[in-house]
Amino acid sequence: MAVQPWLESRDSMLAKVDGANNAIFIAVEKVGTQMLYGRGAGGGATGTAVLSDVLQIARQIACGHTASTRLAGFHNPQRLPYSTRPQPLNWFLRLTMKDRPGILARTAEAIAHEGINIDSVIQEPHMPKDGLSFVITLEPIVEATAERAVKAINKFDFLKAPVLLLPMISMKEEHI
DSSP per residue, 31-94? TEEEEEEEE---HHHHHHHHHHHHHHHHHHHHTT--BPP--TTT---SBPPPPSSPPPEEEEEE
Q: Domains of the chain (ranges plus CATH)? A: 89-174 (3.30.70.260)
Q: How confident is the model over 6-55, as pLDDT tens digits? A: 777 778 888 888 877 888 877 777 888 888 888 776 667 777 888 888 88
CA distance 107 to 86: 25
Q: What is the pTM of this model?
A: 0.62
